[in-house]
Amino acid sequence: MMPNEGVTVERVASVILAQDVHGAGFIDWGNLGAVILTWFGPSAVATAVVVAFLKRFENRQVHVQNAEIEKLRSSLRQLENRSKTRFDWLHQKRAEAAVEIYGLIIDLDVTTNRLINGLTHGPSDSEHKAPLYEGVARAGNTFRNRYAKLGLLIPEGLLKSLRDLDDLMWKK
């Protein structure tokens, strides 16, 4: 087909649709423009119309893409804020759990030291020793119950150390 021969709106439309290989508006306008210019010939008016159309289309596509990018940025900011809030909450709960566990370890240490001192330096009758044993048992049970409940909030390294301490206390 020679330039300008049989050029109809239907023919140009079929070439445009043939360029949309993905079926979703992904047309290679650079190559299509060259094809259309070849058909219309070197007419300055035709060239100007095609160039104006392509620039307008390109500007519209840039605007649509910028709007999509801004939507994605906004979604990313919202996701970042939600994640930060969740992380802050988890960080706070972990800190509270660590403070509680260390407090229980200190209680256990103090009651254990009282027991040791009472056994080595105190009276030898069982009436004075029973409260010391009960204090250690109570502190040990409290520690064991709390660290088991708070296990998900405790970092893995500390949790392993606490398990080792619990095993030592209960001679597993």
Residue 160: per-residue pLDDT: 85
Of residues 82 and 48, more confidence is placed in 82
Complete DSSP assignment for 111-147: HHHHHHHHHHHS--SHHHHHHHHHHHHHHHHHHHHHH
Pair (112, 159) in one structural domain: yes
Q: Is there a contact between 111 and 136 (Cβ–Cβ < 8 Å)?
A: yes
Pair (62, 107) in one structural domain: no
Considering the domain boundaries, does residue 43 fall inside one? Answer: yes
Q: Which of 51-55, 113-117, 119-123, 138-142 has the lowest mean pLDDT?
A: 51-55
Question: Residue 25 has what DSSP assignment?
Answer: S
As for how many domains the chain has, the answer is 2
What would the pLDDT profile of 75-130 be if each residue is shown by its tens digit? 888 888 887 777 788 888 888 888 888 898 899 889 988 888 888 877 777 778 88
> Is 50 strand, coil or helix?
helix
Residue 11: per-residue pLDDT: 58
Pair (59, 101) in one structural domain: no
| Structural domain boundaries enclosing 162 | 89-170
Considering the domain boundaries, does residue 64 fall inside one? Answer: yes
Q: Is there a contact between 31 and 19 (Cβ–Cβ < 8 Å)?
A: yes
Considering the domain boundaries, does residue 83 fall inside one? Answer: no
Pair (162, 94) in one structural domain: yes
Considering the domain boundaries, does residue 97 fall inside one? Answer: yes
Pair (105, 148) in one structural domain: yes
Report the b/e string of 30-40 with b at 16+ CB within 10 A.
eebbeebbebb
Pair (122, 148) in one structural domain: yes
Q: State the DSSP H helix or E strand holding residue 152, giving kind and residue range, or none if neither.
A: none
Structure tokens at 130: 């029973």
Query: In percent, how much of the chain has pLDDT > 90?
Result: 1
Q: What is the mean pLDDT of the chain?
A: 75
Pair (61, 103) in one structural domain: no
**Average pLDDT rounded to a whole number, residues 16-37:** 55
Please tell me the distance from the alpha carbon of residue 28 to that of residue 21, in angstroms, as a whole number: 9
Burial of 115 (0-12, 13-18, 19+ CB in 10 A): buried
- Residue 125's alpha-carbon distances to 64, 115, 121, in angstroms, are 88, 13, 12
